[in-house]
Amino acid sequence: MESEQQDTNLEFVPILNHLPEIYHDNNGEVKQKHEGRFKNLKDRFKQIYGVVPKYFCRAPGRVNIIGEHIDYCGYSVLPAAIEQDFVMAYVLNEADEIELNNIDKDQYPAEKISTDPFQKFKEGPHWINYFLCGYKAVLAIDEKYYSQVTKPRGLKIMIDSLVPPAAGVSSSSAFTVCASIVALHANGLETKIPKGDLSKLCVLAERMAGTACGGMDQTISIFAEKNQAKLIEFNPTLKAIDVKIPASVVLAIGNSLTPSPKLLTLGTRYNKRVVECRFALLILALRTGDISHAKEQKFKNFYEFQKHLGYSYQQMLELVSSHLQKGGYTPDKVKKELGIDDLTDLLKDIPYANEVISQNYQFHLFERAYHVFGEASRVYEFKELCDDETLDEAVKVQKLGQLMNDSHKSCRDLYDCSSPELDEITQLSRDSGALGSRLTGAGWGGCSVSLIPKDNLEQFLDKVFTYYTKEREPGYQLWITDDLERYLFATQPGKGACILDPQ
């Protein structure tokens, strides 16, 4: 039976006692691995701070099963949390400062910051900014919440993350969410901010740090439940609805080994796509209504526009075909279409919009819009197939796989967010027995997700491992060779963020 989180205002981030319980799987393997990890974290904490940590907070990364680059257009997406998570061990600090150490001290050297939630982000893409995102989310964005804290508490924190960075499995949001919950807990707000508000605040905070993101990653990291994928609906209200992936299949994640550092490429990749969707929306609104639709920005996103028209996804696709041109628009052409001289006014809420405009000559409005409406419709088809109890299982999983393949094709050909390596690993996955395979997350590198019949899993993994052992061009980096399972692994939907009480 489908259970829905109807009212996000009734739920708070849980505090669980008994540390490794959430990491159990049916044969106990996962538990053992994590026990070692937590012991190491405690030991390192003691070495650095001279005391044992009082609490642990953890927030998972995610895999997006289907629904790519549509959350910021207002449409629903279908992710699941992965087992890999961010963990912060912590104690309160009597001094008014926050000390942060990371198990990986070479990549992430120690930092000390003040407890002022209104402090500026560091210049450039510094890792501490993700901590600040979570911290600000709770203590600097919504006065209703932060006014309840007279003096933010100092903290001593040790971080350990198993979420691969820059890989499309949302390490940034796992970091942000984890930091936000530590800030909640340290300042006595854990029973004051409902999960739904917390995830919206984390989205706003990540946008302050530069990415014009939607809300998929933060919401799934907070709302995920073990063995449940979720349909995340942002409209008309935020909901996380259970989706049962059929029992005969399993999901596997494969890292393409090409990192996709989002904050370094905002102007030409992620935020550019957000700008392209905005231009497409404004032109379509103008063509179907009066000039005020565009000038007054009556619709915040494609979802609101579609709702206003009362159109089906098919009708939206037809609208795109009749009113937008293939092959790109120059900024001057966009201005001409909209009958205005200055584009910046229409992009005020999009971070780095000026960089986007100055760095690009072509904006692919037809292609981006056509992807969005097709993908939004595939998400609901996927959910309906999963819910259909009358359909033969073999037919069902074959259709689910096809939707994932269609999604990849659309990301590659229309949204232009794939890469040669992602195309290679998704094709290899299909050739190795996957029913469907696609890029997951923002793309341009990072990971693939594949749907595999459970009975074929071993064979599938054996064949796809050749991606990692294959000879490649000199200079092509395969940065870990002794633990290939970090790059290719089967995954079950995992549990959402929580505070772990080791007592």
Considering the complex, what minimum distance in angstroms separates the CB of residue 11 from ligand NG1? 21
Residue 15: count of CB within 10 angstroms of its CB: 15
Token pair belonging to 338: 């909209």
Token pair belonging to 412: 């590659």
C-alpha span between 266 and 434 (Å, rounded): 32
C-alpha span between 258 and 263 (Å, rounded): 15
Residue positions counted in the chain: 503
Q: Which is nearer to ligand NG1, 214 or 401 (CB)?
A: 214
Q: Please answer whether residues 130 and 409 qualify as being in contact, where contact means their C-beta atoms are separated by less than 8 angstroms.
A: no
Q: Which is nearer to ligand NG1, 125 or 154 (CB)?
A: 125
The entry of ligand NG1, Mg ion, none near residue 71 (CB within 5 to 8 angstroms by kind) is: ligand NG1
- Site residues (CB under 6 A) for ligand NG1? 64, 68-69, 71-72, 168, 170, 172-173, 206, 211, 213-214, 216-217, 262, 441-442
Q: Please answer whether residues 439 and 68 qualify as being in contact, where contact means their C-beta atoms are separated by less than 8 angstroms.
A: yes
Considering the complex, what minimum distance in angstroms separates the CB of residue 443 from ligand NG1? 7
The entry of ligand NG1, Mg ion, none near residue 337 (CB within 5 to 8 angstroms by kind) is: none
The entry of ligand NG1, Mg ion, none near residue 448 (CB within 5 to 8 angstroms by kind) is: none
Q: DSSP state, 332? A: H
The entry of Mg ion, ligand NG1, none near residue 165 (CB within 5 to 8 angstroms by kind) is: none
Selecting among 71, 160, 217, 242, the annotated active-site residue is: 217
Considering the complex, what minimum distance in angstroms separates the CB of residue 176 from ligand NG1? 8
Residue 235: count of CB within 10 angstroms of its CB: 14
418 touches Mg ion (CB under 5 A): no
Considering the complex, what minimum distance in angstroms separates the CB of residue 417 from ligand NG1? 8
Q: Which is nearer to Mg ion, 152 or 259 (CB)?
A: 259
Q: Which is nearer to Mg ion, 124 or 474 (CB)?
A: 124
Considering the complex, what minimum distance in angstroms separates the CB of residue 67 from ligand NG1? 7
The entry of Mg ion, ligand NG1, none near residue 206 (CB within 5 to 8 angstroms by kind) is: ligand NG1
β-bridge partners, 199: none
C-alpha span between 205 and 218 (Å, rounded): 11
Active site (annotated) includes residue 217: yes
Number of chain positions touching Mg ion (CB under 5 A): 2
Instruction: Convert residues 114-153 into a mask of x (bound to Mg ion by CB under 5 A) and - (unbound).
Output: ----------------------------------------
Residue nearest to Mg ion (CB): 172
Q: DSSP state, 121? A: P
- For the chain, state the CA radius of gyration: 23
The entry of ligand NG1, Mg ion, none near residue 343 (CB within 5 to 8 angstroms by kind) is: none
**CA angle, 478 then 483 then 486, to 5°:** 80
Q: Which is nearer to ligand NG1, 102 or 407 (CB)?
A: 407
C-alpha span between 272 and 69 (Å, rounded): 12
Residue nearest to ligand NG1 (CB): 441
Which 161-180 residues touch Mg ion, going by CB under 5 A? Answer: 170, 172
Q: What are phi and psi of 6, to 5 degrees?
A: -70, -45
**Which string of DSSP letters, residue by residue, matches 387-443?**
H-SSS-HHHHHHHHHHHHHHHHHHHHHTS----HHHHHHHHHHHHTT-SEEEE-SS-
Q: Where are the alpha helices (DSSP H) in 231-310?
A: 270-288, 291-295, 302-309
Q: Which is nearer to ligand NG1, 173 or 228 (CB)?
A: 173
Which residues make up the interface to Mg ion (CB under 5 A)?
A: 170, 172
Residues catalogued as catalytic: 217
